[in-house]
């Protein structure tokens, strides 16, 4: 998922880095009252802050890093009681989501090993957004492997919305939809989950077969969007119905046969 035309427009500037097995990009409007050089420096400094935050979380929670806290827990070298407060806090948050989704979202693999992959990227984006606000960066789009959080507008002082494009899982070069974020729309976040993206943290409910190939959720905050997208892939239509009735979200779900289920916001 990418903000569609915005990335290619001369009115925007972006910086990227790799972390958590994906590409993370920070995009801002190029126009500024403080001058081009100062704006470039501000974007570079903000990207450094965001990258450092992502790296620190990845070093703690990644099961792909042998020395991480998550990997030590998986090997039995560390118990959850002995884990850091940060790890226990995120585990508790994930466990709460398990209750809210009636088990469709889970903080553990089927073998019982804690796996917070379904929460950590959304949490990293959320924390990065708070850091960008602290830096007084008013207009920005943060995209981490298709999970998008925005503030302000792609055109300064215009009230225009950012548009996040959703990739066709059958053809990664094609967009099947674009959803407006920010600019007074109410939704600031869009997350996509499914086998088209890295989905090792998705454990299916019921018969163990995914009904959906890909699910995108738009919400006011990125953690809700990210968790519910994962939960709907895992829990199928019952979880989709639960999500749309229990949260203020919009959903676009792609069935395995290519059929679409979309709430009103995606049909507009």
pLDDT in tens, 101-135: 999 999 999 888 999 999 999 999 999 999 999 99
Q: pLDDT exceeding 70 applies to what percent of the chain?
A: 88
To which residue do tokens 């009735």 refer? Answer: 245
Residue 14 has pLDDT above 90, yes or no: yes
Average pLDDT (19-47) is 85
Mean pLDDT of the chain: 88
Beta bridge partners of 151: 140
To which residue do tokens 């998986």 refer? Answer: 74
CB 13 within 8 A of CB 27: yes
Fold that domain 2-267 belongs to in CATH: T-fold (3.10.520)
Q: How far is the C-alpha of 190 from the C-alpha of 93, rounded, in Å? A: 20
Domains of the chain, residue spans: 2-267
Query: What pLDDT is attached to residue 54?
Result: 98
Query: What pLDDT is attached to residue 32?
Result: 54
Using pLDDT thresholds of 50, 70 and 90, give the confidence band for residue 6: very low
User: Phi, psi (5° rounding) for residue 15?
Assistant: -130, 145
In 3D space, the residue among 5, 17, 228 whose CA is nearest the CA of residue 142 turns out to be: 17
């Amino acid at each position: 998922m990418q903000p569609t035309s915005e990335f290619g427009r001369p009115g925007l500037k972006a910086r990227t880095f790799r972390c958590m097995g994906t590409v993370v990009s920070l995009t801002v409007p190029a126009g500024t009252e403080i001058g081009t050089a100062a704006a470039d420096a501000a974007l570079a400094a903000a990207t450094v802050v965001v990258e450092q935050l992502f790296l620190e979380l990845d070093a703690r929670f990644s099961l792909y890093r042998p020395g991480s806290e998550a990997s030590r827990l998986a090997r039995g070298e560390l118990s959850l009681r002995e884990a850091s407060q940060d790890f226990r806090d995120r585990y508790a948050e994930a466990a709460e989501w398990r209750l809210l989704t009636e088990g469709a979202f889970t903080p553990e693999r089927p073998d019982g090993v804690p796996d917070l992959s379904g929460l950590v990227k959304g949490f990293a984006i959320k924390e990065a957004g708070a850091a960008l606000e602290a830096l007084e960066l008013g207009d920005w789009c943060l995209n981490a492997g298709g999970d998008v959080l925005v503030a302000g507008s792609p055109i300064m002082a215009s009230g225009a919305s950012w548009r996040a494009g959703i990739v066709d899982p059958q053809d990664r070069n094609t967009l099947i939809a674009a959803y407006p974020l920010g600019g007074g729309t109410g939704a600031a976040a869009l997350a996509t989950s499914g086998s088209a993206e890295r989905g090792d943290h998705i454990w299916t409910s019921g018969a163990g077969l995914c009904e959906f190939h890909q699910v995108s959720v738009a919400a006011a905050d990125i953690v809700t969007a990210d968790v519910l997208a994962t939960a709907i892939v895992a829990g199928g239509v019952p979880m989709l119905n639960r999500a749309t009735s229990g949260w203020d979200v919009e959903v676009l779900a792609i069935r395995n046969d290519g059929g679409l289920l979309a709430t009103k916001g995606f049909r507009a």
